[in-house]
Amino acid sequence: MIDLHVHSNHSDGTYTPSELVDYAIEKHLTAFCLTDHDTMAGLAEAISYANTCAGTAADGQAPVTVYPGIEISTDYRGREIHILGLMIDHQNPRFLEQLQQFAEARHTRNRKMCALLQEHGIDIDYADLQAQQPDAVITRAHFARFLLDHGYTKSMQEAFDRYIGDRRPCFVPWEMISPDQAIRLILSTDDIPVLAHPIQYGMSHTALDAFVGTLKDAGLMGIEAIYSTYTAADERQIRQLAQKYHLLLSGGSDFHGTNKPGLDLGVGYGSLHVPDQILDDLLATRQKLLFTDLDGTLLLNDSTISDTMRDALQRMTDAGHHLILSSGRPLPSILEVRFKERICFPHMLIMSNNGALVYDCDRLKPIWECRVSQEDTAYIIRQARLRGLHIHGYTATEIVCQGMNAELAFYTSRIHMPLQCVDDIAAALPQGSFKLLCIHLTDKSALEDFRESLLHYCGDRIQMIFSNEQFLEILPTTAGKGNALRFIADFLHAPLSHTFAAGDAENDISMLAAAGTGIAMANAQECVKKAADIITQKSNDENGLLEILETYFQ
C-alpha cells in the first residue's frame, strides 16, 4: 500500500515526520510521499528516520520508503490551485530560495489576518502563533485550530465558515505564483509536477479540460486521479483527462492527522487504494534516454557495432535506461542494422527518416508519423528534375524512384530496400512521402543551390538539411530529430533534462539542441560541435560513445 499525498506538522498536519513513518509502518504502507505545503523542512527527518527504521526492522516487518515531495500553492484566476512536486530535490539551493520567498509572502498575509481577527474581538497574536508551531508553515488550518482551541468556534469548519474561509471577513489572499510558474520551477530541479485534487477546484468539465490542457503545454507530467473525496465518476473523469493529455497518474489520501477527522493514512475515508504501479510509473521517469545517431556515431566506420559497445548498451538498458536509435535512414534499413548487429534491447524506440517516423520495437508499430504532402512532393521533384538532380521518396517499406542510376546505386549499396520504379513519383505517394532525398555524388554546392532555390516555396512547411556531403534531406517541419526527440520524451514521461543525444552531422543538430545534453562525436562536423554540450575525446571508430555511457548511464 502506498500514499503519495501526505502532510506533517511542518505545514498543516498534526504528525511529526518521524511519527508519520511510525504510523506508515503500523498501517503496513510500503511507501509514502511527504508533500507539505510550500516547505521541504520535514523531508530530511522523515527520510533519515525511515532509513533508520529499515535498518532495525524486525524479521517480517516491511520497511517503508519516504519519497520527497511538496505541495505548492498557486493562483489561477482567483482560485487557489495546488501543484505537487514529486521526487523533489529537497536540497536544491534554488528551490529552497524560492520557498523562502513563498514563506515571506505567507507571513505578510498571516499578519494581516491576525489584525482582522483582532478587529472581530479575537485575542490572537501572530508571534505567539508562530512560537506554538516553531517548525511549521503557518496556514489557515493553524488559525482554525487556534479558534477552536480557544473557544471561539465549535469546530475547525466553523472557523472557516465564519472567519477565514474564502471571501469570509478575516480572509486575506496572498500573492502566489501561477500554476505554470510552479510547474516550471519543479521541472527546473528535475522533478515531477502533478496537478493535485483537480475535482476540488469546482470547475466544469469543459473548463477543467481546458485548464489541464494549458498546464500540459507548460510541462505538467501528472494528475491526481485517486483521492480521498473522489466519487467513482470523479476518478473516471480524471483518468480520461490523463489519457487525453498523456499524463501520469498519481494518488493519495491528503492525510493531515487530526486536522482532517476520519481521513486516514493510506486509505482516506476507508476505500482509497493507490496501486503500486502508479509509483512504479513515476519512478520510471527517473531513468535516462540516450538518442544516438547510427552512422558516424554508434556504428564503426564499417557499419558494425563493437562487442564492447553492445555490452555497454546491455548494461545501460538493464539499469532501466532507454535506447533510441535516431537516424536519417528509413525504418527498414535501421531494422536491418538492429537485427544484424544484435542491437536488440527492451523498450527500444527507433527514430527514422530524420524524425518523420518513430517506431515502437516492443509493439512493432509506428507511434509518430509526418509526411511531405503529395502536392509539395510533386513540386519539389519537378524542380529537382529541371536541375538534373536525382531525387526519390519513400513509403514505409519502399524507395519510390524513377529508376536505377549512379546515385541510387550508391545509396542502395548501404540502404537495402525494395525499389518501386515509376514515371510519376508523387502520384505513387498519395499520402505524401516521409521525406525526399536529393543526391549529388560530387558537388555539394549543386545541392546547396537547389536548397536555396526552394526556400521561397517551402515557407514554414518544409525543412532541408544535409545528412552528409552527398545527401540533402527534405522533410516536413513537423519532423526533424529535435521534434521527434521532444515527442519521445513526452511519450515516455521523461523530463528533457534526462535526455542525451549524440550525433555527428548537420541533421543531428536539432536533436542535440532539444536534448538536455547534446553530444558531438570527435569526428563530427564543426557545426555539430558548436551546437553540443559535450564533445567526445574519441571518434565513432574508437567507440567514442563509451565515454558517455560510462559517465552518465551507470
Residues 305, 344: one domain?
yes
pLDDT tens-digit map of 20-66: 999 999 999 999 999 999 888 899 999 999 998 876 765 556 789 99
Mean pLDDT score, 2-6: 97
Q: How far is 158 from 147, CA to CA, in rounded Å? A: 9
pLDDT tens-digit map of 413-465: 989 999 999 999 999 999 999 999 999 999 999 999 999 999 999 999 999 99
Number of domain units in the chain: 3
Hey, what amino acid is at 309? M
Mean pLDDT of the chain: 92
Residues 202, 313: one domain?
no
- Residue 33 located in a structural domain: yes
Write down the residue that cell numbers 475515508 correspond to.
269
Sign of the alpha-carbon dihedral angle for 361, 365, 368, 374: positive
pLDDT at 136 over 70: no
Examine the fold and report which residue of 284, 319, 348 is the final residue of a domain before the chain moves on: 284
Residues 336, 452: one domain?
no
- Supply the DSSP string of 300-343, one letter for each residue: -TTS---HHHHHHHHHHHHTT-EEEEE-SS-HHHHHHHHHHTT-
CATH number of the domain that residue 535 is part of? 3.40.50.1000
Domain span at residue 302 reads 289-370+479-552
- Residue 131 located in a structural domain: no
- Residue 151 located in a structural domain: no
CATH number of the domain that residue 265 is part of? 3.20.20.140
| CB-based contact 465:457 (threshold 8 Å) | no
- Residue 118 located in a structural domain: no
**Element of type H or E holding 62:** none
pLDDT tens-digit map of 195-226: 999 999 999 999 999 999 999 999 999 999 99
Residues 241, 365: one domain?
no
Residues 6+ apart with CB under 8 A from 170: 113, 116, 117, 120, 163, 164
Examine the fold and report which residue of 252, 284, 316 is the final residue of a domain before the chain moves on: 284
Residues 241, 190: one domain?
yes
pLDDT, residue 330, reads 94
Hey, what amino acid is at 518? G
Examine the fold and report which residue of 249, 284, 319 is the final residue of a domain before the chain moves on: 284
Supply the pTM of this predicted model: 0.81
Q: How many C-beta neighbours within 10 Å does residue 349 have? A: 23
Residues 268, 222: one domain?
yes
Residues 325, 385: one domain?
no
